[in-house]
Structure 1
Amino acid sequence: MKKIAVIVAGGTGTRMGSELPKQFLLLKNRPLLYYTIDTFLKAYDDLELVLVLPDVYTDMGQEIIDAYFDKDRIRITVGGSSRFESVKNGLQLITEDAIIFVHDAVRCLVTTDLIRRCYEQALETGSAIPVVPSNDSVRLLTEDGSDALEREKIVLVQTPQVFHSKILIPAFSIEQKGKFTDEASVVEAFGMKVSLVEGDKNNIKITHPIDLIVAEQLLNQM
């Protein structure tokens, strides 16, 4: 089955407090985006990649590709005003049946093991959503305050979220809604069930400055 990864790097990363989008910030002298692309291309020799970037940063993305990678395996497209629109733009470049990985560019510590685990699950069930247990107590905010939830029944969702193209592409034909924070929520709104798979606690999303420090320490251990 054809394998295509849609790497979503369309955001500006305002929470990092940096003018440069976080996917281009340096981690051990290389952009975060480098590590994400590198791992996906190493996971499968026949995997192709669609990189979704902000319009004004496509040249910078191309420079990274030209410097480090086989450009024949990577295509660039422009992101939209939301994650939903950015993913939809990436999916428009996929015209044949495939297993599609959708991954946050700033989850730069993703491993080939996780990528392959998700692929095998998606081949079997049509989808694979990596999750990890919550280490913290969790509460649900209500109009009257908040309610404690059973931590054992809560999982934290990661990427790559992986689907057969016959599931994911039609799902993105529906109208965008505010509750769509990931691809799983889109697919579920389309009326399909999703399948969970064991994630990786080190597969963190770089969101705040402290995350860069943590990522460097984790990278040194890999």
Structure 2
Amino acid sequence: MEKYAVVVAGGSGLRMGTTIPKQFLLVRDKPLLWYTLNAFLDSFADMQIILVLPEQHIQTGQDILRSTYDPDRIWMTVGGETRFHSVRNGLQHIKKHSIVFVHDGVRCLLTPQLIRRCYDAAVDKGNAIPATTAVDTIRIDTVNGNEQIDRNKVRIIQTPQTFFSDIIINAFEQDFHESFTDEASVVERLGVKINLIEGESTNIKITRPLDLLIAEKVLEEREMGL
């Protein structure tokens, strides 16, 4: 089956305290986005990637694209006002029945193995959303203050969120709603049951300076085969 990854990379460097967008920050002399793109290229020989970037960063994206080992399988499009609109712009380039992965460009530590597991589960059940179990004590705000909830029932959602193309393309024909925080929430609004699979503890979203140090260590250990 055809495979497309819509990689959305529209973040800023505000929480990093930098003027450089997060996806272009360097880890081990490579931009975060470079690792993300190569993970998808490594996952399947027929994977096609649609990279969605803000218009002002298209040239930088082109430079990173050309530095991957198979740039012919990647093309680019311009993002929109919100993540929802950026994903919609990427989906417009998919014309064939396929499996579609939507991924945060700054989750640069995902592995080809996770991508393949998402694919297998989506083929079987129509969608696959990687998630991990909460390890901290969880409390929720209530009208009376706050209360503890069972952390074993809490799932931390990751990407790539993976769907049959007809499901996700149809879902993104809806008008934007403020409750759309990820692709699963868009699809779920149409009444589709969301299927969670086990994610990866290292598949973090690079947001803070500490995350860069974690990414550096994880990538170093992978290079050493640890």
TM-score range, shorter chain: over 0.9
SS at match of 1:181: coil
CA RMSD in angstroms comes to 0.9
Single out whichever of 104-113 and 139-148 deviates more from structure 2: 139-148
AA partner of residue 129 (structure 1): I
Instruction: Indicate yes or no: 2:77 matched with 1:77.
Output: yes
**Structure 1: runs of 5+ lacking an equivalent:** none
Distance 2:66 2:113 in 1: 26
C-alpha distance after superposition, 1:95-125 (max 9, x if no partner): 1111000000100000011000000000000
Q: Deviations over 1:32-62 (max 9, x none)?
A: 0000000100100000000000110000000
Find the counterpart in structure 1 of residue 199 from structure 2.
Answer: 199
Q: Which residue of 2 aligns with 1:214?
A: 214
The alpha-carbon deviation at position 219 of structure 1 amounts to 1.1
Whether the 8 Å CA contact 2:109–2:203 is kept in 1: the answer is yes
* Matches for 1:67-216 after TM superposition, within 5 Å: 67-216=67-216
Alignment partners' CA distance in 1, 2:146 and 2:205: 26
* Alignment length (residue pairs): 222
Structure 1 stretch displaced more, 102-111 or 63-72: 63-72
Residues in 1 aligned to 2:53 and 2:196: alpha-carbon distance in whole angstroms = 28
Letter paired with 1:121: A
CA distance in 2: counterparts of 1:148 and 1:206, whole angstroms: 28
**147-156 vs 63-72, which moves further:** 63-72
Q: Give the TM-score of the pair, scaled to structure 1.
A: 0.97
- How far apart are residue 205 of structure 1 and its match? 0.7
Q: Distance in 2 between matches of 1:52 and 1:13?
A: 17
- In the TM superposition, residue 80 of structure 1 has moved relative to its aligned partner by 1.1
1:15 partner SS: coil
Higher mean displacement: 42-51 or 139-148: 139-148
* Cα distance in structure 1, aligned partners of 2:9 and 2:27: 16
Q: For residue 155 of structure 1, what is the amino acid of its counterpart?
A: R
Query: Aligned-pair distance for 1:162?
Result: 0.2
Task: Tell me how far 1:190 sits from its aligned partner.
Answer: 1.6
On the 8 A contact 1:4/1:47 being kept in 2, the answer is yes
Aligned to 1:63: 63
Q: Which region of structure 1 is more displaced relative to structure 2, 141-150 or 198-207? A: 141-150
Percent identity (aligned): 50
Query: How far has the Cα of 1:139 moved from its partner?
Result: 1.5
Alpha carbons 2:132, 2:155 under 8 Å: kept? yes
CA distance in 2, matches of 1:31, 1:191: 38
Work out the CA distance in 1 between the residues paired with 2:137 and 2:149: 8
What SS does the aligned partner of 2:4 have? strand
| TM-score w.r.t. length of structure 2 | 0.96
Contact 2:41 2:70 in 1 (8 A): no
Partner secondary structure for residue 80 of structure 1: coil
CA contact 1:10–1:78 (8 Å) conserved in 2: no
